[in-house]
Structure 1
């Protein structure tokens, strides 16, 4: 079990080392860290340097206190408040320990109250002088809550909603969206609370707005954050429900935006966002209906851009979840393009992983598709990727899936893979990654009719059944 201590305990030990053992600050810190680590204490949330000022206070604590006093004493003194916001943001960016300290000192409540007041004034009067201050508050909140989204409460959720609903200023909207994204990472309840405010409608309006590329990018990031399932504290999240409902609301708009933005960086983010929402058959069909030959245009325009190609492969894989759409893609001529991409970017492990996954998705339960891939040189391209990336688990695993799906219903294609010495390649993969995905390797070997030892997963105990 991990042990934890307070910041005060750590500071006391460092001071004790300096005063009683006459150590230098550097020696005292080094000794304290070694002492606590030997006891199994987690120091990740502890400020380890000894930049104590004004008695026993760390600089981050002093900054929070100054900001608090300024807000109480003279709320119109925006210049001093701006200075303290900058100072607090610098402290928060140092590490998680500084952010935790600021949170414990009440920085979140101070910032939220200040933001509430300034937003009300801005919305009612559209007071331009508050614009810079509101932007700085949002930036500071995002820095403070990076990796500690637990600070968000209902008032913060309400401020996100009111900003997206009532503010037109592009710069303020961008910072509000950035803060919303930070709040959603690894925090299921935050996502649910923000989503419950019908943020999908606000995002829909922002996507329709002909604004800057930055505003589009931040809107897309919030959409993707809403579909995450990364909070280990929650057994069942609502990532699927969020993706489905956002897909119904936004996919047509996103597909139209993709038609207008076929060049990076917008094209990559749009494809990634669309792929994250394709969790249902009807949503895949909706995108296919509105996109036409759009994917071919994107691939042709960005053939030399590996980043765009990677996102395109993700989108094709997601669309292939619908069998009818998958058949349309193959019928329209996607197979030779995929094989060409697999060959061209065989030296890139990420591109190889995603393209192999694409091959696996397009050939799943489709013997006719497997034949097309075989005729277009897919076996050679797959084997080349497996040889180049012998130590990359994702390439080896997706390669096994691609091979298995190609031959599972077409055993006549096994000969081609055997000619390329597939057994030795997969045997080597099993030796290295057997514990991680040995079943996938053995499944590919089995369907290739290679020699493979299958483990008996369950055996009876030989107990006679009673009549």
Structure 2
């Protein structure tokens, strides 16, 4: 690239000196000459000043980014983003030649001007803008950028806003760039991203946007792969994010449209029914999915062994409750899922009664102290049609 730049600059100078062309005419003539020879000019600076870009605003801003801090750093980053928005400008190529990606990654890794949330956010916005071109994506891989982005997203002290921008930068790096995708996966970005996705899926609008961009399918693939590999932390995080998304009515139908979604949930319950932290998330996902949604209840009934797996998970959690207090949360989610299915879906109610779900619920109700779990078991019994659903007086 440097050699092409030097040759191009020499051609422009020759047009001016040897052929008495005006500067702009000399530039246009050199561009036409190189393009006629099928020379790729996409990564060089096409200006009369050529490679001497020290006075260009992009070069000046980058110099500031390398040394400044606080408001000065943030302002320089903001100016770079604006310069990169101009498709006719030379900012991208100037920043490429001056190693902007590597410089920004170094600043983000070390702190410096990006030591606080505002600075880190500003630096990540520049990276996201730069990753719109393949050359900058490649520069990121050469600068071992994926582990740095992963560390920013996984860092406990990073704010949710910084984590989200880190994911956006990673998404830009991976877009139409297979090597970028692989490098991010190797760096552990998927595991770091899942808790952030869960936090971001906090309202109806965000859930809808996430679903439109394929989040359900991505998370379900991570969930299934982690389930098969026994990676419980990834599996739990993926399921928690899916659970959050399915709290939105707009996502429920899209979730059910995913391939083999109910068999995957049933399989996870069967395999991990002695792991309350996992069964809580799977049962919680079923609870959200079946709330005001008879179609989801029918789908669960239609999967052979699924409702039986729910009851077995409840029974296993009850047995684990003494050793693991967190099992109570899994039990509560299971009771709520049963209630949601029974109250709006006669087929589910009939199947649950045939499986003696009421016996499991009576046991939970009678062995629990007054509170949320006992209330959930009683409500499920009521919606199954049990007249003696209220807790017995003690």
Q: Deviations over 1:279-300 (max 9, x none)?
A: 3331231456335353354234
Q: Deviations over 1:183-227 (max 9, x none)?
A: 332361x43333223333323322232262222122113212322
With over 3 angstroms needed to count, the CA separation of the structure-2 counterparts of 1:102 and 1:80, relative to structure 1, is closer
- Find the partner of 1:362 among 381, 386, 390: 381
Q: Following the alignment from structure 1 to structure 2, what is the Cα–Cα distance between the partners of residues 159 and 199?
A: 17
With over 3 angstroms needed to count, the CA separation of the structure-2 counterparts of 1:211 and 1:170, relative to structure 1, is farther
- Find the partner of 1:91 among 112, 116, 122: 116
- Find the partner of 2:358 among 318, 335, 345: 335
Q: Following the alignment from structure 2 to structure 1, what is the Cα–Cα distance between the partners of residues 143 and 308?
A: 45
Q: Following the alignment from structure 1 to structure 2, what is the Cα–Cα distance between the partners of residues 289 and 269?
A: 19
With over 3 angstroms needed to count, the CA separation of the structure-2 counterparts of 1:79 and 1:318, relative to structure 1, is closer
Q: How does 1:18-167 map to 2 (within 5 A)?
A: 61=71, 64=74, 72=95, 74=99, 75-77=101-103, 80-84=106-110, 88=114, 91-92=116-117, 106-107=122-123, 109-113=125-129, 120-121=137-138, 129-139=144-154, 143-146=158-161, 166-167=181-182
With over 3 angstroms needed to count, the CA separation of the structure-2 counterparts of 1:211 and 1:67, relative to structure 1, is farther
8 Å contact kept, 2:243–2:281: no
Q: Following the alignment from structure 1 to structure 2, what is the Cα–Cα distance between the partners of residues 284 and 353?
A: 25
Q: Following the alignment from structure 2 to structure 1, what is the Cα–Cα distance between the partners of residues 303 and 139?
A: 39
With over 3 angstroms needed to count, the CA separation of the structure-2 counterparts of 1:335 and 1:253, relative to structure 1, is same
Matched, 1:192 2:203: no
8 Å contact kept, 1:118–1:134: no
Q: Following the alignment from structure 2 to structure 1, what is the Cα–Cα distance between the partners of residues 251 and 352?
A: 27
Question: What does residue 238 of structure 1 align with?
Answer: 250
Q: How does 1:212-361 map to 2 (within 5 A)?
A: 212-229=231-248, 238-245=250-257, 249-262=260-273, 263-278=275-290, 279=293, 280-286=296-302, 289-293=305-309, 294-304=312-322, 305-320=324-339, 321=341, 322-347=345-370, 352-361=371-380
Q: Following the alignment from structure 2 to structure 1, what is the Cα–Cα distance between the partners of residues 265 and 172?
A: 26
Q: Following the alignment from structure 1 to structure 2, what is the Cα–Cα distance between the partners of residues 223 and 337?
A: 27
Aligned length: 292
Report which structure shows greater RCO (CA 8 Å, sep ≥6): 2
With over 3 angstroms needed to count, the CA separation of the structure-2 counterparts of 1:215 and 1:291, relative to structure 1, is same
8 Å contact kept, 1:170–1:215: no
Q: Following the alignment from structure 1 to structure 2, what is the Cα–Cα distance between the partners of residues 161 and 268?
A: 34
In the alignment, structure 1 segments of 5+ residues that lack a partner are 1-57, 93-98, 230-236, 385-467
8 Å contact kept, 1:180–1:222: yes
Report the TM-score, using the length of structure 1 for normalisation: 0.50
Question: What does residue 207 of structure 1 align with?
Answer: 223
8 Å contact kept, 2:277–2:330: no
With over 3 angstroms needed to count, the CA separation of the structure-2 counterparts of 1:284 and 1:169, relative to structure 1, is same
- Find the partner of 2:189 among 172, 185, 200: 172
Q: Following the alignment from structure 2 to structure 1, what is the Cα–Cα distance between the partners of residues 334 and 239?
A: 15
Report the TM-score, using the length of structure 2 for normalisation: 0.57
Q: Deviations over 1:221-260 (max 9, x none)?
A: 321232234xxxxxxx7244445445x6522112201211
In the alignment, structure 2 segments of 5+ residues that lack a partner are 1-67, 81-91
Q: Following the alignment from structure 2 to structure 1, what is the Cα–Cα distance between the partners of residues 288 and 135?
A: 35
With over 3 angstroms needed to count, the CA separation of the structure-2 counterparts of 1:118 and 1:300, relative to structure 1, is farther
Q: Following the alignment from structure 1 to structure 2, what is the Cα–Cα distance between the partners of residues 224 and 297?
A: 22
Matched position secondary structure for 2:247? coil
Matched position secondary structure for 1:380? coil
With over 3 angstroms needed to count, the CA separation of the structure-2 counterparts of 1:281 and 1:221, relative to structure 1, is closer
8 Å contact kept, 1:363–1:370: yes
Q: Deviations over 1:426-466 (max 9, x none)?
A: xxxxxxxxxxxxxxxxxxxxxxxxxxxxxxxxxxxxxxxxx
Query: What is the Cα-based RMSD across aligned positions, in Å?
Result: 4.6
